[in-house]
Chains A and B, each alone.
Chain A
Amino acid sequence: GEDVEQSLFLSVREGDSSVINCTYTDSSSTYLYWYKQEPGAGLQLLTYIFSNMDMKQDQRLTVLLNKKDKHLSLRIADTQTGDSAIYFCAEFLMDSSYKLIFGSGTRLLVRP
């Protein structure tokens, strides 16, 4: 089935690390994505990982993939107030539908 789940809310202190988690269900996924939505704006692609990878690092962002458990996480190091946004996990289905399925989004609040 197609289902991507995320926790709804995360609050961290500025300078700490943030870890946003996501679970997905479809084994046909090949690419998994993290998008960021700032207030009043559209979604912006942050990073992605291919399903044969365990980890991908891009500056302050680290993506970890546990394919066995279908668990994806996004770690933001040294979280800043500008990181406050909604973060969406998405899986790209490589079955006949070729759809991008989004999770419900995790609202990250960074406290000064």
Chain B
Amino acid sequence: DSGVTQTPKHLITATGQRVTLRCSPRSGDLSVYWYQQSLDQGLQFLIQYYNGEERAKGNILERFSAQQFPDLHSELNLSSLELGDSALYFCASSLYSQAGELFFGEGSRLTVL
């Protein structure tokens, strides 16, 4: 158990809809990262927050947004969903803002029909 909690574990929705994925980082960790894992794109970095502030941005679509709240949990919002957004979305956390040692949650599997 990494200590990172993600909900929901599975989500099925329709194209055009909006969903919110939630992540609670490991106790004491200030950084939260979001990654998308799909079969054809591998593991893609989306965005990182550190202590409530956006720290780094990767290949995140404009239809996607995220935030980190004062209690350090984070939410990833995906809107106007397309079939190609079907993937496993991972949250990871670390203590520092610049770190390679990340602790990953078990992921939220999103299926868009």
Contacts and interface: CB of A to CB of B under 8 A. Distances in A.
A45 B102 contact: yes
A42 B58 contact: no
A33 B90 contact: no
Interface in B1-38: 2, 4, 33, 35
Contact-size category for B: 20 to 34
B90 A99 contact: no
Nearest to B44: A102
Given A97-B56, A98-B97, A42 B104 contact: yes
Interface residues of A, number: 22
Contacts of A88: 43
Interface in A11-56: 31, 33, 35, 40-45, 48
A104 B42 contact: yes
Interface of B: 2, 4, 33, 35, 42-43, 45, 48, 55-56, 58, 90, 92, 97-107
